[in-house]
């Protein structure tokens, strides 16, 4: 066992948030396309969702006082880590099919790994979360793996 990762902390691996189901609307696709500067007509007209559209689709809508100082919603899936300064460690997204208005999508996020490495300035904790997005037929639409680094 590492110096920072207790058995109690590692026991959180495999934990999932409750599934979250959201409706994809033409209006939301159009707003996302405009906000991200996407100029393809199929996105601006809301006929198909552009890449990365799914990311904010499943975000919680919270009051300002429920945000961290850097403006991020508190992730209830994660345990309390002994290190708290978070950095991006990677994002892998597999698209299995396009997203269209009228799609009902369900996302489930699972904490799949916690591990420690030694960095130049001290220990680092890495964690990985996989989000699977499926349609109402249970078919995989998107698989997203996020890696974060704590120091």
Please report the domains of the chain, with CATH numbers, ordered by start residue: 7-150 (3.10.129.10)
Q: What is the pLDDT of residue 62?
A: 87
Q: What is the pLDDT of residue 13?
A: 98
For residues 50 and 42, is the Cβ–Cβ distance under 8 A? no
Judging by DSSP bridges, how do beta strands 122-135 and 86-95 pair with one another? unpaired
* Backbone phi, psi, residue 53, to 5°: -55, -35
Distance CA 95, CA 12 (A): 27
Q: What is the pLDDT of residue 69?
A: 78
Distance CA 91, CA 63 (A): 27
- Please give the helix or strand (H or E) that residue 26 lies within, else none: helix 26-35
pTM for this prediction: 0.90
Q: What is the pLDDT of residue 90?
A: 96
Q: What is the pLDDT of residue 2?
A: 64
Where does residue 112 rank: exposed (0-12), middle (13-18), buried (19+ CB within 10 A)? middle
Low-confidence ranges of the chain (pLDDT < 50): none
Q: What is the pLDDT of residue 61?
A: 86
pLDDT in tens, 22-43: 999 999 999 999 999 999 999 9
């Amino acid at each position: 066992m590492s110096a920072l990762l207790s058995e109690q902390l590692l026991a959180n691996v495999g934990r999932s948030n409750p599934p979250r189901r959201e409706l994809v609307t033409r209006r939301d696709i159009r707003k996302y396309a405009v906000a991200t500067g996407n100029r393809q007509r199929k996105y601006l007209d809301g006929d198909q969702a552009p890449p990365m559209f799914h990311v904010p689709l499943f975000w919680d809508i919270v009051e300002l006082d429920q945000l961290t100082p850097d403006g991020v919603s508190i992730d209830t899936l994660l345990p309390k880590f002994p290190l708290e300064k978070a950095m991006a460690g990677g994002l892998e997204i597999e698209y299995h099919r396009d997203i269209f208005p009228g799609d009902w999508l369900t996302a489930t996020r699972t904490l799949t790994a916690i591990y420690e490495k030694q960095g130049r300035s001290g220990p680092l904790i890495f964690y990985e979360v996989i989000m699977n997005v499926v349609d109402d037929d249970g078919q995989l639409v998107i698989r997203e793996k996020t890696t974060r680094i704590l120091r």
